[in-house]
Amino acid sequence: MSHPAERREPSDQPSRPPAGSVDPAEPVQSAAPAEPAAPVESAADPSQPAAGAHRRRSRLPLVLTLAALCLLIDQVAKSLAVANLDPANPPRLLGGLVYLSLLRNPGAAWSIGGDTGMTWIFAVVAVIVAVVIVRVAAKLTSTLWAVSLGLILGGAMGNLADRLFRSPGPFRGHVVDFLSVFGPNGEHFPVFNTADCFITVGAVLLVLTALLGIDFDGTRGEKQPAAKDSADE
């Protein structure tokens, strides 16, 4: 005996589309735009200073301080020499290595130009040299360069002070010399003074600094390798 087919009641719930199919009633959402990739930071250039690196300070204060100290020492020594030394009887020091022979020098080193009325020219040259040294020192960051120029500047100012303020008058003053080596009165070597000593030591130190390859900023200049000839002979 056959049974009658079961009657199915219609469902109130809407039919769902099969998995994987797209419902035409639902709006299709577009894919979100991809975010731009973060920029890749380039490697730091070794030739450029790092951010926040300590900047070297100018050595101009050192140059001026050393020059002022040399000027003070020189003028005090000359004043003592003028007040206490007898030109006719120079004291003998260090077993005759040094004599304190007081002389008045109207010219340059070794009295060059003293008899031709050129004293004022030496004073003007000293002023120009001082201005140039100060301008160069404003850019210095090297201690060795600063010490060298400070000594030279102090010595130049010491002799310039004599030419400006000693007799017979401004820009015509005679430089006080009182150091004679190996004999009195410059018998074996021209008589000089403390300012000349400062200038000489500063010049020697300046040459050594340059020979060592030390730049104004205190770094050593790197020598560039010679270019190789790529052409085959």
Structural domain contains residue 80: no
Active-site hit among 12, 23, 162, 196: 196
Q: Report CA torsion sign: 60, 62, 66, 72.
A: positive
Whether 107 is covered by a domain: the verdict is yes
CB of 54 closer than 8 Å to CB of 128: no
Whether the CA torsion 18, 20, 22, 25 is positive or negative: it is positive
Work out the average pLDDT over 54-78.
90
Q: Is 86 a catalytic residue?
A: no
State the average pLDDT over residues 93-110. Answer: 87
Q: Is residue 70 part of a domain?
A: no
Compute the distance between CA of residue 165 and CA of residue 231 in angstroms, rounded to an integer. 68
pLDDT band at 53 (very low <50, low <70, confident <90, very high): very low
Could you report how far apart the first and last alpha carbons of the chain are, in Å?
Answer: 115
Asked if pLDDT for residue 33 goes beyond 70, the answer is no
| Radius of gyration, CA atoms only, the chain | 43
Q: 224 lies in a domain?
A: no
Residue ranges of E strands in the chain: 92-93, 98-99, 103-105, 175-177, 180-181
Tell me if residue 23 is catalytic: no
Domain count, the chain: 1
What pLDDT, on a 0 to 100 scale, did the predictor assign at position 230? 45
In a domain, 130, yes or no: yes
Confidence grade of residue 195 (pLDDT, cut at 50, 70, 90): very high
pLDDT in tens, 160-178: 999 999 988 888 889 999 9
Residue 225 scores a pLDDT above 80:
no
More confident residue, 205 or 117: 205
- Candidates 74, 177, 217, 232; catalytic one: 177
CA 115 – CA 70 distance, rounded (Å): 29
When pLDDT is cut at 50, 70 and 90, the band that residue 224 belongs to is very low
Range of the domain at 137: 93-211
* pTM for this model (two decimals): 0.69
Q: Is residue 1 in some structural domain?
A: no
In a domain, 29, yes or no: no
Residue 100 has pLDDT above 50, yes or no: yes
Q: Give me the phi and psi of 43, to 5 degrees please.
A: -65, 145
Sign of CA dihedral 108, 114, 118, 124: positive
Q: Is residue 220 part of a domain?
A: no
